[in-house]
Amino acid sequence: MASRANPDLAKDLARFGASGVLTCFNCGNCTAVCPLSEGDSVFPRKLVRYVQLGLKERLVQMSEPWLCYYCGECSATCPREAGPGETMAALRRYAIASADPSGLAGLMYRRPLAAVFLTLLVAVVLGLFLTTVHPRHEFSDWLFRWIPYEVIHTVGMVISGVLGLFLLAGVANVLRRYTAGSGGLGGLLRSPGAMLVAAQKTLGEMATMRRHAHCGDTEAEAARPWYLAPRWVHASIMWGFLGLFGATLLDFLFIYFLSWTAFPPARVLGTVSGLVMLYGVSVSLYQRGQGKANHLKQSVLADWWLLGFLFVLADTGFWLELAVTFRWQGTVNDAVLLIHTVMAMELVLLVTLTKLAHALYRPLALWLHFFRQAATASGLNVAQAQPADA
């Protein structure tokens, strides 16, 4: 079936950061140099072309954007300066936006001001909500004179609930679209062997980002010390984040539910993870600020947003740890705790609206990629993506 050209898509994607697409003359250099394009997953030219023509139905079913780690080599090679790497990045944002049923993600990408406003709004709602669950404070008493406790509590619960639903719907959407070409979820379930192999490979890839090692064969990249290379910077952010996540969960478990004092191993884990993440986030912020490397030539608000959140979370986390250790008291500490908790909650609740969604979608895409590889290797016929309508 023929798919329908739509000139508005390229214009829309420009707002997601893909501005040069129309100048691409389809030479294919980008695909040739891309260290990650392989087998059935050929990019970025194919996706650049779909954007050029506006073949939206095709694009939203493609998981390829997540297979790209944005090394930027394609963009550096492109004779037309069409920005294929930036297009892939924009397509990741577009994927997040188009999977999100609320339309809020799209709004945030298309209008940076809306993103700022929404972030603050959710923060205020969550902040107020927290005053209802935390141990009482003078501020709470003062507040409840103005807004009844019940209202604040209900609004907070409802908003959290709705955002949680959006989160689930987003993940479901992506799952449905990306598997459409392989016969849906049912199609996948029919080859459990391949599913297992793929899962194993995906976990391995997530842990090590081995594919990332293929990026950066350029001289400039090679000259960079390993601890500044994108692969390790990203790894420190990811592992730091996961470590902190784990430490926080343990803290919750021990302090709030079991009412113990701090559990030493969790504290150690938290401290180490926090340091590791802070390192990664700081390097990343610095490198983005410089904007020199191929993969950092273009940063959009969503990039700063996520790094900024992580940076503040890590810093406030340390503060709180010191406060707990040295038994600091006072309003400042309460405020820091509030900020830390609000931001952490916001990060989780907005996961499918922000760049952090990649932590969900990328593994899924990798898993499908490895699944197709394994299925092809074992002779299974995995259908190529077809547009849903025509």
Partner 1 sequence: MIKETAQPQAASEEPRIGVYICRCGGNISDVVDVEAVATAMQGVAGVVAAKVNTFMCSDPGQALIAEDIRNERLNRVVVASCSPFLHELTFRTAVNRGGLNPYLYEHVNIREQGSWAHHSDPAGATSKALRMISAAVGKLRHAEPLDRIRLSNNRQALVLGGGIAGLKAAAELAGKGIPVILVESSSSLGGRVASLNEVYPTETDASDLVKKLAAQVMNHPLVRVYSQARLAALSGFLGNFDITIAVEPKAEAGPAPGVPLPKPAKAEEVRAAVGAVIIATGFDPYAPRDGEFGHGGPQVTTLPEFIRELRGRRNGELQWNGRPVRSVGFLHCVGSRQIEGVHAPQADGKVNDYCSRTCCTAILQQALDVKRRFPQVNVYDFHQDIRTYGRGHEDYYRNASTAGVVFLRYHGDEPPAVGPGTNGASLTVRVKDWLTFGEEVDVPLDLLVLGVGMMPRNIRDLIELMKLPVGADRFLQEVHPKLRPVEVSVNGVLLAGTAQGPMNIEETLAAASAAASKASILLGRESVELDPFVAEVDADQCIGCERCFPECAYTGALVAEAATVNGQAVKKARVNPGLCVGCGACVAVCPTRAIDLKGWTLSQFDAMVDGLVAGVPGVELKGREHARQTH
> What is the contact surface with partner 1 in residues (CB under 8 A)?
1-5, 7, 22-23, 25-26, 46, 49-50, 52-53, 55, 80, 390
Find how far residue 280's CA is from the centre of its chain. 16
Q: Which of the choices partner 1, ligand SF4, none does residue 3 contact, using the CB cut-off of 5 to 8 A by kind?
A: partner 1
User: Residue 68 corresponds to which tokens in the numbers above?
Assistant: 């790209």
Residues 6 or more apart whose Cβ sits within 8 Å of residue 66: 92, 95, 358, 361, 362, 364, 365, 366
Q: Measure the CA–CA gap between 195 and 274, rounded to whole angstroms.
A: 34
Q: Which of the choices ligand SF4, partner 1, none does residue 5 contact, using the CB cut-off of 5 to 8 A by kind?
A: partner 1
How far is residue 198 from each of residues 139, 173, 300, measured CA to CA in Å? Answer: 52, 21, 32
- 80 sits near ligand SF4 (criterion: CB under 6 A): yes
Q: Which of the choices partner 1, ligand SF4, none does residue 195 contact, using the CB cut-off of 5 to 8 A by kind?
A: none
Q: Which of the choices partner 1, ligand SF4, none does residue 68 contact, using the CB cut-off of 5 to 8 A by kind?
A: ligand SF4
Q: Measure the CA–CA gap between 176 and 204, rounded to whole angstroms.
A: 24
Q: Which of the choices partner 1, ligand SF4, none does residue 1 contact, using the CB cut-off of 5 to 8 A by kind?
A: partner 1
Number of residues in contact with ligand SF4 under rule CB under 6 A? 29
Please report where in the chains the tokens 């790209």 appear, as a residue. 68
| Nearer to ligand SF4 (CB atom), residue 134 or residue 214 | 214
CB of 322 to ligand SF4, least distance (A): 40
Contact call for residues 53 and 43 (beta carbons, < 8 A) = no
Position among 85, 156, 170, 216 found at the interface with ligand SF4 (CB under 6 A): 85
| Nearer to ligand SF4 (CB atom), residue 74 or residue 300 | 74
CB of 197 to partner 1, least distance (A): 28
| Nearer to ligand SF4 (CB atom), residue 25 or residue 286 | 25
- 73 sits near ligand SF4 (criterion: CB under 6 A): yes
Find how far residue 123's CA is from the centre of its chain. 19
- 78 sits near ligand SF4 (criterion: CB under 6 A): yes
Please report where in the chains the tokens 């697409």 appear, as a residue. 21
Position among 17, 54, 84, 240 found at the interface with ligand SF4 (CB under 6 A): 84
| Nearer to ligand SF4 (CB atom), residue 79 or residue 103 | 79
Side-chain half-sphere CA neighbours of 71 within 13 A: 27
Q: Which of the choices partner 1, ligand SF4, none does residue 55 contact, using the CB cut-off of 5 to 8 A by kind?
A: partner 1
According to DSSP, residue 38 is labeled B
Contact call for residues 85 and 295 (beta carbons, < 8 A) = yes
| Nearer to ligand SF4 (CB atom), residue 18 or residue 349 | 18
Q: Which of the choices partner 1, ligand SF4, none does residue 280 contact, using the CB cut-off of 5 to 8 A by kind?
A: none
Q: Measure the CA–CA gap between 330 and 206, rounded to whole angstroms.
A: 41
Position among 10, 55, 82, 108 found at the interface with ligand SF4 (CB under 6 A): 82
Please report which helix (H) or strand (E) contains residue 279, including its range: helix 264-290
| Binding residues for ligand SF4 restricted to 175-234, rule: CB under 6 A | 215
Q: Which of the choices partner 1, ligand SF4, none does residue 118 contact, using the CB cut-off of 5 to 8 A by kind?
A: none
- 70 sits near ligand SF4 (criterion: CB under 6 A): yes
Contact call for residues 41 and 370 (beta carbons, < 8 A) = no
Determine the residue type at 292.
Answer: K
Residues 6 or more apart whose Cβ sits within 8 Å of residue 28: 45
CB of 366 to partner 1, least distance (A): 24
Residues pairing with 41 in the sheet: 38
Residues pairing with 38 in the sheet: 41
- 74 sits near ligand SF4 (criterion: CB under 6 A): yes
Contact call for residues 245 and 277 (beta carbons, < 8 A) = no
Q: Which of the choices ligand SF4, partner 1, none does residue 46 contact, using the CB cut-off of 5 to 8 A by kind?
A: partner 1
Binding footprint of ligand SF4 on the chain (CB under 6 A):
24-30, 34, 36-37, 43-45, 48, 68-74, 78-80, 82, 84-85, 88, 215
